[in-house]
Amino acid sequence: MKTEWRIFLIIAAFLLFATVLYGGWTAGETGRIEWVGTVGLLLSFLLCAMCGGFFWFVSRRIDLRPEDRSDAEIADGAGEIGFFSPGSYWPFGLALAASIAGFGLVFWQFWLLGAGLVAVIFAACGLLFEYYSGTRRTAEH
């Protein structure tokens, strides 16, 4: 996690510098700050700082991983990484439901927006609980 928080905080520092530079540059050229770009850069800085802070917080509480040690060998990272789903239709359903909700928002049709949001909640629950019920239920649960 040491590498991750450093990368995110370096990018956050660059974005903060770019925010100040962009705000000052637009204020100097036009006489007023261009707020859309300045706020966009500021929010990007905050997002990277939040991710970097989270990784820093986690890295203090876990042991060093092989990726974080300079003396580590490739074999140190061998073993089980985790569980990855072999295939699922729920992400497609979630994308379709989000598209329906998006169309409802774009065309200002509240009934379509409501139906899409209900479908998003249903699809998110289906994706979340996919391995806790039905034929794919695993033995550990």
* Residue 9 near residue 52 (C-beta atoms within 8 A): yes
The pLDDT score that the predictor gives to residue 80 is 80
- Return left, alpha or beta for 62; rule: phi > 0 is left, psi -120 to 50 is alpha, else beta: beta
The pLDDT score that the predictor gives to residue 139 is 59
The pLDDT score that the predictor gives to residue 28 is 93
Low-confidence ranges of the chain (pLDDT < 50): 141
The pLDDT score that the predictor gives to residue 137 is 64
The pLDDT score that the predictor gives to residue 112 is 96
Amino acid at 116: G
Measure the CA–CA gap between 123 and 100, rounded to whole angstroms: 12
* 90: number of Cβ within 10 Å: 17
What pTM did the predictor assign? Answer: 0.59
The pLDDT score that the predictor gives to residue 78 is 81
The pLDDT score that the predictor gives to residue 66 is 78
Extents of the domains making up the chain: 2-70, 89-130
> How far are the Cα atoms of 15, 20, 21, 24, 44 from residue 27, in angstroms, in the given order?
18, 11, 10, 5, 20
Q: Residue 1: in which H helix or E strand, if any?
A: none
* Residue 59 near residue 88 (C-beta atoms within 8 A): no
